Structure formats: C-alpha cells, structure tokens
Chain A
Amino acid sequence: MFPRPIQDSSRSRQLMYKIALPISLVIWLLPMIAIVATAGRSLSDLNYGNYWGIPSEWAFVENFSAVFGSSSIGIYLLNSVIITLPSIAGALFLSTLAGAGLALYKFRGRFLILALFIAGNFVPFQILMIPVRQLTLDLGVYDTYWGVILFQIAFQTGFCTFFMRNFIADLPFELVEAARAEGVSEWNILTHIIVPLVRPALAALAVLQFTFIWNDFFWPLILIQSDELRPITLGLTTLKGQYISSFNLLAAGSLIAALPPVMMFFAMQRHFIAGLTLGASKG
C-alpha cells in the first residue's frame, strides 16, 4: 500500500492525521458550507449585514418554502426529470445494441466506427451548436422537450457505446461461441445472454448519465426558449435574476438543484465510481 498505512507510524502522527482529516475536509468544502449556511439565513439578518455571524434564527424551512412558493422551481425540477429519464433510456438502449455489435463481431472498419463514437464525444459543443439548432427547427422539435432529449440520446450514445463495447468485450467470448454452436440466434444471444450480464454496466452508466444530463446547461440553453420548459440548470439563471438581492433564496434554490444528482451519487456510489473510472485501472 502506498503511502505507508498510518497505523504503522507513531501515535502522535496518527493523531495528527486524524485531526488534519476533518480540517482539510472543511477547507475543501468551504464554498459549499458557505452556501448551506446562507440558505438558512433569514432576510432580516442579511438586511442587517449579518452575513456570517451567528444567525438570529435559522430560516431553512421559510427559505425553501419561499423558493418553491415564489418561483417556478418546481416546474424546472419536473422539466429536468422529463428530459433526463427518456434521454438515459434512449442512450442505454442504442448503446447496448451498438456496443454488442462492435464487441461480438469482427468486421473491417469496427475500430473506425468505435473511434468515431469516442472522438465525437470530445468535440466542443460549439462546433455542433448552429447546425443542431437548425436541425431541431427543421424537425419541428425546437423549443420542446424532444429537441433536448433527441440530442442527448444521440450525443451520449457515443460515450455509452464505448463503455458498453469495452464491457461486453471483457465477457468470456466462449459463451457466445457455445450459443452459436447450439444454433441460438444472434438476437437471442444479445437479449438472453449478453443483456443479463451487462446489468452492472447499465447501472453504472445510468447513474453517470443522470448526473451528466441533469447538470447539462448548454443544450437546453440552445434548444429551449420557453420558460415553462426550462430544466433546473437553466432555471437557476432565471432565479439568479429574480433573487438579485436575496441571496439566501438563491442559495436555497442552488441546493435544491444540486440535491438530486448528489442523492443519486450517495445512493449509487459504487456504480457511479465504477462508471467514471472505467479504463483508469486498465489499458
């Protein structure tokens, strides 16, 4: 193990480590702690200039209900859900198919196709922006949920295909060969043998994609105009203008926006990290 386990060092060093750990954590999360503290501060404290002192009262409940009551944040959250879930389902479906196609068959050009999927995922969004906006206008899905959903499915399919292809390529190929020798159709091999085995990969991807798509700001900014269709990331910029002088409410709104992916991360941590670090331990 590197570095040397702290248990092997002297008592005093162990104690130092145990003290340093929470201190470093507090410093690391200081901006976050500041926003949480602000979200619980009452307007009167802010008006009296009491930004960081001991608050005269905690106003978490008041602030959070004020945000829900005075802004469209509930609608923004719902919009985020409406956009995120179908996007994940679509990307996972397409990429399981394509990943299997690229992993289970040896044909010329398969590396080229894989390379296109990977490369496409790294391009700057700006090189896609104007034509994609035009495309959604032509398809009649500009300023609808579908515009963003279709784009997210297409774009995320790149990364997901790469991920699924690697995962399927690591499965024992003899399994597929045995099935083929028995005359099992290729479609049944995929649905009955491969799909049950890639469930962990699908879970990892789903969690990862949830945070990517939920937190995406650029595409709804480009493809959605109506306020009532905006997802939460875009909604926050509306809130920023609305709560220009009441930062406690903006802070509360930010926390609400951050909560779903954070909860998803803590609930599905193992899957999340497996998804994020695929390839970091191999290759």
Chain B
Amino acid sequence: MCRSPFPNLGVSMADIQTLSGNRLRRDTDFFRKNKLVIMPLVFIAPAFAMFSLFVIYPIIQSIALSFTEWQGIGPKKWVGLDNYRLLLGDPVFWTSLVNNVYWLVFFLLAPVLGLFVALFLNQNVFGIRLVKSLFFFPFVVSQIVVGLIFAWFYDPAFGLLATMLEPLGIKIPAILANEDWATFGIIIAGLWPQTAYCMILYLTGLNSVNPEMIEAARLDGAKGWQLLVKIVLPQLRAATFIALVVTVIGALRSFDLVAVMTEGGPYNSSNVLAYYMYDNAIFRYRMGYASAIATILFLIMDVYIAWFLMRLLKSEKGAS
C-alpha cells in the first residue's frame, strides 16, 4: 500500500506513478532539459496572444489615433496635439471631467455605506443569510436594469419617490431632466449596486477578524466607535483596499447608467468622459478627438491602476 503524501487532495502516490507511465518517451533531450522554460511559455502563449490582440495593442493604437484626424474611414491625417488643444477649449469636455470628479467623490460613499451595512448585518439571527443575499442582489442585476428602475423611481409624475414625498409636502423636480440634479440622480443609482458590492467585501472581511483581539480590547474597556477604528478597521485593510479599487474604477468607468438614464443630457449636464468619447466616435465620427478623450480617461485611471499593481506585486513578491 502506498500512502498518499497529500491525504486531503484525493491524489495518491499511485496516481502520480500511473501518470508517469503515460509519459511520452519521445521527448527529445533538448525538450527534457528545457521543459521548465518551454512549458510555461506554451501555457501562457494563447492567453497572452488574445489579450495582446484585443487589449494591449488597441491601447497603443488608440493613443496613436489621438494624434490624428480620422472619420473612421479613409486616410488618417496627423495633427499632432491639435485634438488635445481642442479639448482644452471644449466646455462639454470640462463638464464631463467635473462630473467624473463628482462620480469619484460621491462613489467613495459606497465603501463607507457598505461597511455600515455589513456591520448592521453581521449578526446571527434567524433568516440573516437570506437578508444578506437580498441586500447584495442589486449588484447582480445589470446596470441597464438598474438605470431603468431608477428612471421609473424618479419619475416626477408617476414615480414612487414623488408619490411618497407628496403627502409630506415635498415636491421633487424632474431629477433626470434637471441640469443641476441629473448627475446626482445617476450617481445615486450607481451607488446602489456599488454599496452592495462593498458590503459583501466587508462581510467577508469581518468573518476573518481575530475574535481574541476584539475580546482583549473589550476587556481593556474599548467599545463601539473606538473599537471599530482602532482594532477592527486595521484588520479590514485588505477589504478596504479592494473596495476602494473597484469603486474608483467603477466611478471612472461609468457609462451604462448614463447611456440608459440621460444619454448625457439635458444639454450635456450629466455627461461623463466615457460617454462623451462614445458620443464623439459613434455619432460624430470624430475618431481622433474621441481617442484623445479616451486617452485622458486612461491616464487618469492609470494612477489608480499603478497604485493597485504596486501594492499587489509588493505582497506577491513578499510571499514568494
């Protein structure tokens, strides 16, 4: 009997020996000597080829395109930095950029709200699993559906919001048709699934909080807010990090909700860079100009991507 050296994995030494019997004897010497170099390349090549073709190379192409004037068909004309100069004088670009900043700032409420919802739900009472799932499920629903739901919810004539506020004597404006309110109306719709996402990250994080440290701190007289800030939050750093990353990226990527709720209107007041880029490329055939907008959005996002990667690779390299 050959006892498995890896009892929990369901793989026994006998299995491994059977496998080695199947080995191809035709391996050349060169291959055998270098297989630990060749095999990873073979394994990674298909994924890397696809990813390069559809993601990495297009990024370079887009940046190159931003220095040209192109209608999507016919020859491209090199215009240097003209597109970027035009952008600086384009009021809609500035509105979109400012709106992206609003998205970014207000979206950061999602990790905060998510934490509080998670703290509220982190109990062991009857039915709590179902309640947690129901709190989470806005995240599973498509943003297009979320947009339609909120558009109906906000409707000034028939919407539930107006209907509920009417007896209180509050009359709301037509949120999505109002230049001052539209962006915030969309952001609130976006916060709904985003908060759910952060909540689930924190619920998982709370599961792995060290109970002994909490008890020790309680014995020392720490409680409530103090306990949360000094003992619990530091242990939730990993969850906070992920929540911040996905929230920032989500805020800068906002497109679906804008497309389905306002299409950037009224008068571009709720436009964001992602949608303004699409608008220029698809409806006005200004590919070079659109690429310049995309490049700027890409550069803004790079700051966060770089931050994320640096932290991630630091922990990876530390581990291996």
Which residues of A are at the interface with B, using a C-beta cutoff of 8 A?
1-3, 5-7, 17-18, 21-22, 24-25, 28-32, 34-35, 38, 51-52, 94-95, 97-98, 100-102, 104-105, 107, 110-111, 113-120, 122-132, 135, 150-151, 153-155, 157-158, 161, 169, 172, 174-175, 178-179, 182-190, 192-193, 196-197, 211, 214-215, 217-218, 221-222, 232-233, 236-237, 240, 247, 250-251, 254, 257-258, 261-262, 264-266, 269, 273, 276-277, 279-283
With A and B bound together, what is the CA distance between A276 and B136 in angstroms? 12
- Shortest Cβ distance from residue B5 to the other chain A in the assembled complex, whole angstroms: 7
Question: Can you list, as one digit per residue, whether each of B15-29 has a CB less than 8 Å from chain A (1) or not (0)?
Answer: 111011011100100
With A and B bound together, what is the CA distance between A76 and B279 in angstroms? 25
Question: In the bound complex, do residue B205 and residue A52 qualify as a contact, i.e. CB atoms below 8 Å apart?
Answer: no
**Which residues of the other chain, A, contact B232 by a CB distance below 8 angstroms?**
2
Question: In the bound complex, do residue B134 and residue A29 qualify as a contact, i.e. CB atoms below 8 Å apart?
Answer: yes
- Shortest Cβ distance from residue A89 to the other chain B in the assembled complex, whole angstroms: 14
Question: In the bound complex, do residue B48 and residue A113 qualify as a contact, i.e. CB atoms below 8 Å apart?
Answer: yes
Question: In the bound complex, do residue B40 and residue A107 qualify as a contact, i.e. CB atoms below 8 Å apart?
Answer: yes
Closest to B277 in A: A126
Question: In the bound complex, do residue A101 and residue B44 qualify as a contact, i.e. CB atoms below 8 Å apart?
Answer: yes
B267 contacts chain A at the CB level, 8 A cutoff: no
Closest to B146 in A: A31
Question: In the bound complex, do residue B260 and residue A192 qualify as a contact, i.e. CB atoms below 8 Å apart?
Answer: no
Question: In the bound complex, do residue A247 and residue B19 qualify as a contact, i.e. CB atoms below 8 Å apart?
Answer: no
With A and B bound together, what is the CA distance between A115 and B59 in angstroms? 15
Question: In the bound complex, do residue B9 and residue A175 qualify as a contact, i.e. CB atoms below 8 Å apart?
Answer: yes
Interface centre among B48, B56, B140, B320 (most CB of A within 10 A): B140
**Which residues of the other chain, A, contact B201 by a CB distance below 8 angstroms?**
276-277, 280
Which residues of B are at the interface with A, using a C-beta cutoff of 8 A?
5-6, 9-11, 13, 15-17, 19-20, 22-24, 27, 35-37, 39-44, 46-48, 50-51, 53-59, 61-63, 65, 72, 119-120, 122-125, 128, 131, 133-138, 140-145, 148-150, 152-153, 158-160, 163, 192, 197, 200-201, 204-209, 211, 214, 227-228, 231-232, 238-239, 241-242, 249, 252-253, 255-256, 259-260, 273-274, 277-278, 281-282, 287, 290-291, 293-295, 297-298, 301, 304-305, 308-309, 312-313, 315-317, 320
A-B contacts at CB below 8 angstroms, number: 335
> A97-B44, A262-B140, A262-B141 given as contacts; is B290 within 8 A of A279 (CB)?
no
Question: In the bound complex, do residue B50 and residue A153 qualify as a contact, i.e. CB atoms below 8 Å apart?
Answer: yes
Question: In the bound complex, do residue A2 and residue B206 qualify as a contact, i.e. CB atoms below 8 Å apart?
Answer: yes
- Shortest Cβ distance from residue A206 to the other chain B in the assembled complex, whole angstroms: 15
Question: In the bound complex, do residue A186 and residue B35 qualify as a contact, i.e. CB atoms below 8 Å apart?
Answer: yes
> A24-B120, A28-B135 given as contacts; is B315 within 8 A of A283 (CB)?
yes
Q: Identify the 5 closest CB pairs spanning chains A and B, nearest first.
A: A101-B43, A154-B54, A131-B58, A98-B47, A215-B142
> A1-B211, A123-B55, A277-B204 given as contacts; is B62 within 8 A of A157 (CB)?
no
**Which residues of the other chain, B, contact A192 by a CB distance below 8 angstroms?**
15, 19
- Shortest Cβ distance from residue A131 to the other chain B in the assembled complex, whole angstroms: 4
> Which of B63, B140, B227 sits near A211, CB closer than 8 Å?
B140
Question: In the bound complex, do residue A2 and residue B294 qualify as a contact, i.e. CB atoms below 8 Å apart?
Answer: no
Interface centre among B15, B54, B317 (most CB of A within 10 A): B54
**Which residues of the other chain, B, contact A128 by a CB distance below 8 angstroms?**
54-55, 58-59, 62
With A and B bound together, what is the CA distance between A224 and B39 in angstroms? 37
**Which residues of the other chain, B, contact A175 by a CB distance below 8 angstroms?**
6, 9, 11
Q: What are 9 A-B pairs with beta-carbon distances under 8 A?
A: A3-B123, A32-B141, A131-B57, A175-B9, A182-B17, A186-B35, A236-B260, A265-B133, A283-B241
> A21-B125, A281-B205 given as contacts; is B144 within 8 A of A257 (CB)?
yes
> A123-B301, A155-B54, A185-B23 given as contacts; is B142 within 8 A of A98 (CB)?
no
Given A29-B134, A34-B149, A184-B20, list of 12 further CB < 8 A pairs? A1-B211, A1-B214, A17-B123, A24-B120, A35-B148, A101-B44, A113-B44, A128-B62, A161-B47, A175-B11, A215-B141, A277-B242
**Dominant SS at the B interface?**
helix
Closest to A264 in B: B140
**Which residues of the other chain, A, contact B124 by a CB distance below 8 angstroms?**
5-7
Question: In the bound complex, do residue B256 and residue A217 qualify as a contact, i.e. CB atoms below 8 Å apart?
Answer: yes
Question: In the bound complex, do residue B260 and residue A237 qualify as a contact, i.e. CB atoms below 8 Å apart?
Answer: yes
With A and B bound together, what is the CA distance between A233 and B16 in angstroms? 47
Closest to B138 in A: A32
**Which residues of the other chain, B, contact A34 by a CB distance below 8 angstroms?**
149, 152-153, 159-160
**Which residues of the other chain, A, contact B19 by a CB distance below 8 angstroms?**
179, 182, 184, 188-189, 192-193
**Which residues of the other chain, A, contact B24 by a CB distance below 8 angstroms?**
185
> A94-B46, A98-B47, A111-B316 given as contacts; is B16 within 8 A of A182 (CB)?
yes
> A1-B122, A105-B39, A254-B149 given as contacts; is B142 within 8 A of A127 (CB)?
no
Closest to B223 in A: A4
